[in-house]
Structure 1
């Protein structure tokens, strides 16, 4: 059996939507936010069987994502080099239609991001898609892919101690997707569905350990390993942001101020429209009275 490539072998690697795609607009769905992606350096020849096998695999991934949140697919080729393995994993709280939309968009982006590459991986906020001609199903990989921390909250003891129980509940929780909270801290973790129960537990535990060490005194934190992730956020940011309740954009910036500004502008526009309509009604009423008065004098 060929040795699977670790995630670190994706040498052409990208972080942040601005490096690959234009940042998503404010109207884009939260699950469509680009987090990271990478491609293998090895390229296939366009006239080989690999492109058609890849298209078949990706179409199967997209089709099944409409009904189930995780699936892995193998398309056998005429040679080991042309055999391809792929999977997708949707965020555990996504409804089926959003899962389907997320996987569809991820597959579309991979087509432009990793042209002619034997292997590729892409993590959007709502789903993860990966394929390669080396079998990687069930292989544990704790390579750190993304580590991002929000602004420091200083030495607020209440806030600092609130993180421990929120993350501890993720460690003890079961399943591939886990969501928890304690006080004003909200936390989530998820592993890819090809891992065993023990492999998933090991991966999530490691992600949480690294997350707490790196981002403990921060307003929010993200720690993505190759096969799992752990994230948390605090306080008022719960009310805004993506499906996790995070109040920051794809670049880690707090977007709550932008949302408040947009709300204030919307209210101002509505008030202006109401005032304009009221003035128009008064003007029409005045014209009507002038008209009636003029006819009454004849």
Structure 2
């Protein structure tokens, strides 16, 4: 068995380590608008022996990145004749211009890394996406599903699907008059929808309705999901303790501009630093006390019985509450 003196130093160290691990897991769980959702890369590579396509593609990326600092959607063309390349980007409607730029500016590098230089590519991050295609590339229907993700088992309880469908109905009814981006909630279900920037109001509503039907079929009773069609996408989430308060009633709070992202990260960092500081201060004081005393320090061994979780659980509740605000 270890001596009381060893226990004196070991418990605070373990406490600090557990706090750091707990807060790190909470910090990683926060949403990030630059996280990769999916990639779509054409199987055929660009035939570019002279580098003409590469130059046109670089020019396209440069234009799209430049426009992302002042617009949420932009579509353009570079090159001419057989070397024409069409491209666009779109940011989620609730991102600030700075966040939109930061999101879009990552995409060309990621496209090159994940796809190389195919004749067409589309990359979707949580907060933005970019696509390009060479002239003559075969087109697909705006209603074609590109990607889906559904959560696991339904924990929404009785009546969950009715609540979700009511929220879906509100989304479909509201997005037609919301310039292609709309969020709403019903009881504990939060939904978001967005259409590509050049899609008309009626087509947008039709696309969102199609995505809703896909969600109902593909995700069933899942408590969260995302459905990406070619011209629109929707996402929904069930919050057991109620939908967190947003900065406004009609827009989802950007992870980087309000309470769920950077502020959460700052809160976690502050508490993490404070907890670590307190832990190391305790260790230092105990060490100093040991040096200044000639006799052995008697320790109340009941200290060993203190459950670490009694400290971690309230701390986790504070962090979780901060993330939801």
Q: Same fold (TM over 0.5)?
A: yes
With the length of structure 1 as denominator, give the TM-score of the two structures.
0.71
With the length of structure 2 as denominator, give the TM-score of the two structures.
0.65
Question: What residue is the counterpart of 2:86 in the other structure?
Answer: 85
Q: Measured at CA, do residues 204 and 49 of structure 1 come closer, stay the same or move farther in structure 2, by a change above 3 Å?
A: same
Q: RMSD across aligned C-alpha pairs, in angstroms?
A: 3.5
Question: What residue is the counterpart of 1:104 in the other structure?
Answer: 105
Question: What residue is the counterpart of 1:190 in the other structure?
Answer: 194
1:234 and 1:109 mapped to 2: Cα distance? 31
Question: What residue is the counterpart of 1:272 in the other structure?
Answer: 279
1:85 and 1:75 mapped to 2: Cα distance? 7
Give matches, 1:147-296, under 5 Å: 147-153=148-154, 156-173=157-174, 174=177, 175-236=179-240, 269-279=276-286, 286=292
C-alpha displacement of 1:135:
6.9
1:51 and 1:226 mapped to 2: Cα distance? 25
- Runs (4+) of structure 1 exceeding 3 A deviation are 25-29, 236-239, 262-271, 277-284
> What are the superposed Cα offsets for residues 1-26 of structure 1, whole Å, 9 maximum, x if unpaired?
xxxxxxxxxxxxxxxxxxxxxxxx93
Q: Is 145-154 or 185-194 further displaced after alignment?
A: 145-154
1:145 and 1:119 mapped to 2: Cα distance? 14
Q: Is 125-134 or 147-156 further displaced after alignment?
A: 147-156
C-alpha displacement of 1:219:
1.6
Aligned residue pairs, count: 243
Q: Measured at CA, do residues 48 and 271 of structure 1 come closer, stay the same or move farther in structure 2, by a change above 3 Å?
A: closer
C-alpha displacement of 1:278:
3.8
C-alpha displacement of 1:67:
1.0
Q: Is the 8 A contact 1:85 1:135 kept in 2?
A: no
C-alpha displacement of 1:216:
4.0
Is residue 47 of structure 1 aligned with residue 54 of structure 2?
A: no
Q: Is the 8 A contact 2:156 2:223 kept in 1?
A: no
C-alpha displacement of 1:194:
2.2
C-alpha displacement of 1:134:
3.1
Question: What residue is the counterpart of 1:295 in the other structure?
Answer: none
Structure 2 portions without partners, runs of 5+: 1-26, 245-250, 254-268, 294-325
SS in 2 for 1:57: helix
Is residue 73 of structure 1 aligned with residue 47 of structure 2?
A: no
1:159 and 1:29 mapped to 2: Cα distance? 24
Q: Which of 58, 61, 66 matches 2:61? A: 58
